[in-house]
Amino acid sequence: MQWRKSSYSGSQTECVEIGFSASTIAVRDTKNHAAGTLHFPTATWHAFRTHLQAR
């Protein structure tokens, strides 16, 4: 899985990273990978983003 940190984060280290695969979006803490990863179905993640962008 390829991980990506938002360009809005700049050089900050206290951020979240998003990982993309064909069917899952994963979210994790950039400073504490051992804390675990949240996994969301791609459709759920896109609905979440659409909701946020509409606000």
Q: What is the pLDDT of residue 9?
A: 78
Quote the number of domains for the chain.
1
> What is the tens place of the pLDDT at every residue in 1-55?
889 987 877 777 778 899 999 899 999 998 888 999 999 999 999 999 999 999 8
DSSP secondary structure letter of residue 8: G
Which structural domain range is residue 17 located in? 2-54
* pLDDT at residue number 11: 76
Q: What pLDDT does residue 43 have?
A: 96
- Whole-model pTM over 0.95: no
Q: 15 with 9: CB under 8 angstroms?
A: yes
